[in-house]
Structures are given as structure tokens and as C-alpha cells.
């Protein structure tokens, strides 16, 4: 990436920060109209797709066309699938308990729930959307075509998508069977990791990062997959889900003891055996 491309990338990053803010404000308006703050979850993947497509347009005349189309396509496929999956899942459920709890806490503290959610959730999501999308933006300003790291990145992305799609499908079938009510899914991919979908998410973003690594600017965006992985494994992903599961399903404790929390590993022998 030459100096001119680096400068253009910096301008693009500034533009996409504004785009992320606009997307979040629009999503907040829709959330208020729907009366559901978990609307931001449905818009999460869509936001990345929008930034990828807009960067493809803004980066015209820069970088390698094949690389630009590749990273845009990979991001759009992942983002749209996630958005559709979450929207379809949430449409048949009540408001996400996380957001309902936050809104109640705001009321008890004498704060407007809307203001609290906008500042503490939506604006934070805008910043994360922009930060995590940096490899996708950087990749579109790099020349030189695809290299070994690019192909490795594609392979990692494919592994991630497989874990997400298969894991979500297995969980959906499990929940659809009334005989499974109150039990824990511990077969398929869920036999090897308690969160195949979150592991898949992390792989997708490490894959996109590797695709971006054919420029030094892309290499410097390593903060993006690190933050995404931390959120999934230590932040708003795995810990919150597991706290809820442990409270509602006694069998989940044994599942935790014998099953890897994030990276897929052979299961341990059940403590009850």
C-alpha cells in the first residue's frame, strides 16, 4: 500500500466511522418504534455488509480488484446470513433478557431507558462496528493480488462459516423438538465446544484479517479480530449465555465440566459416569 493508498484508506476509515454512527442511529429509531432494543443484534451483521460494500465503492481506483471483490463478498455473505438468522430467531421470542434487564436498571436509577440504551449499547456498537471492520476496509486499498496468507484466510473463513451455519442449524433442530425441553444439546459440533457459533464468528474475522495482511496497514488492524474474539469468549457472548444456562438448566454444569468452552476439543468424561 503506497502513501496515496494509505491516505485514501485513512479518509475511508473516517467516512465509515460516520456511516457506522448513521446506521446505529437509524437502528435505534427502528428499535424505539418496534419497542425492542435487541433490534441492534439483527443490524450487527448487516452493518458490516454495508461498510464493506460502501468501501468497495469508495476505494474505486485503489488496490487489487480481485482482492477488493473477495473481501467484500466474504463480509457480505457472513453479515447477511447472521442478520437473517438473528432476526428470524428473535422474531419468535420476547425482548432479549439482557436489554430488558438494562432498561429496568435504568428506570430504577432514575435514568431514561432510551438514553441509557443509546449511550451504553448503541453508540458502543457503532464504535465496535467501525473498529472490527478495519481489516475489511484496509484490504480494499492493498495491491499485489492474493498471496499465501489470503488463501489461508479464505480457508479459516470457510471453517468459521461452517461452524456458524452447522452449529446454528443443529441448535435450531434441537429446540424444535419438544422432547428436548429442559435438556442440553451435547451432540454434533456442540459435543466439542459449548459455543460453535461463537468460535465460528471468531474464525471468520481472523480469516478476513489474514486476507487483509498483504499490506502493512492490514497487518496493523490486528486489534479487530482480537477485540471480536475477546467479546465472544470473554465479553458479551459466552459468559452471559452461560450464566443464563447455568441458572435455568442444572444439567448444564456437567456439560461445562466435560466440554471445551470455546476452541473445539475432544470432550472429557462426564462427571456423572
Residue range 131-148: mean pLDDT, rounded: 91
Banded model confidence at residue 4, pLDDT cuts 50, 70, 90: low
| Per-residue confidence (pLDDT) for residue 243, from 0 to 100 | 86
Banded model confidence at residue 1, pLDDT cuts 50, 70, 90: low
| Range with lowest mean pLDDT among 10-14, 264-268, 269-273 | 269-273
- In total, the chain counts a number of residues equal to 273
Q: Is the pTM of this model over 0.75?
A: yes
Banded model confidence at residue 3, pLDDT cuts 50, 70, 90: low
Provide the residue ranges of all domains of the chain, joining segments of one domain with +. 3-258
Residue range 244-255: mean pLDDT, rounded: 88
Express each pLDDT in 189-215 by its tens digit.
999 999 999 999 999 999 999 999 988
| Per-residue confidence (pLDDT) for residue 75, from 0 to 100 | 98
| Per-residue confidence (pLDDT) for residue 272, from 0 to 100 | 45
Distance CA 202, CA 164 (A): 10
Residue range 162-182: mean pLDDT, rounded: 94
Would the pLDDT of 164 be above 70?
yes
Q: What is the 3-state secondary structure (H, E, C) of the chain?
A: CCHHHHHHHHHHHHHHHHHHHHHHHHHHHHHHHHCCCCHHHHHHHHHHHHHHHHHHHHCCCCCCHHHHHHHHHHHHHHHHHHHHHHHHHHHCCCCCHHHHHHHHHHHHCCCCHHHHHHHHHHHHHHHHHHHHCHHHHHHCCCCCCCCHHHHHHHHHHHHHHHHHHHHHHHHHHHHHCHHHCCCCCCCHHHHCCCCHHHHHHHHHHHHHHHHHCCCHHHHHHHHHHHHHHHHHHHCCCHHHHHHHHHHHCCCHHHHHHHCCCCCCCCCCCCCCC
Amino acid at each position: 500500500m503506497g502513501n496515496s493508498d494509505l491516505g485514501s484508506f485513512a479518509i475511508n476509515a473516517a467516512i465509515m466511522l460516520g456511516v457506522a454512527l448513521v446506521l446505529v442511529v437509524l437502528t435505534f429509531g427502528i428499535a424505539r418504534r418496534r419497542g425492542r432494543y435487541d433490534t441492534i443484534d439483527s443490524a450487527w451483521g448487516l452493518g458490516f455488509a454495508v461498510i464493506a460494500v460502501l468501501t468497495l465503492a469508495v476505494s474505486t481506483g485503489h488496490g487489487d480488484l480481485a482482492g477488493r471483490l473477495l473481501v467484500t463478498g466474504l463480509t457480505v455473505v457472513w453479515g447477511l446470513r447472521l442478520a437473517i438468522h438473528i432476526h428470524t430467531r428473535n422474531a419468535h421470542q420476547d425482548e432479549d433478557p439482557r436489554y430488558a434487564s438494562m432498561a429496568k436498571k435504568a428506570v430504577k436509577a432514575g435514568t431514561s431507558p432510551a438514553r441509557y440504551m443509546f449511550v451504553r449499547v448503541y453508540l458502543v456498537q457503532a464504535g465496535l462496528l467501525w473498529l472490527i471492520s478495519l481489516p475489511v476496509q484496509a484490504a480494499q486499498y492493498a495491491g499485489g493480488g492474493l498471496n499465501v496468507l489470503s488463501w489461508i484466510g479464505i480457508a479459516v473463513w470457510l471453517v468459521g462459516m461452517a461452524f456458524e451455519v452447522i452449529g446454528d442449524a443443529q441448535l435450531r433442530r434441537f429446540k424444535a423438538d419438544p422432547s428436548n425441553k429442559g435438556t442440553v444439546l451435547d451432540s454434533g459440533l456442540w459435543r466439542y465446544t459449548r459455543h460453535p457459533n461463537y468460535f465460528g464468528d471468531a474464525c471468520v474475522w481472523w480469516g478476513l484479517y489474514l486476507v487483509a495482511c498483504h499490506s502493512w496497514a492490514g497487518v496493523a488492524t490486528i486489534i479487530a479480530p482480537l477485540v471480536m474474539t475477546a467479546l465472544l469468549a470473554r465479553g458479551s457472548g459466552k459468559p452471559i449465555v452461560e450464566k443464563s444456562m447455568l441458572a435455568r438448566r442444572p444439567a448444564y454444569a456437567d456439560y461445562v465440566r466435560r466440554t471445551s468452552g470455546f476452541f473445539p476439543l475432544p470432550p472429557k468424561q462426564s462427571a456423572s459416569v
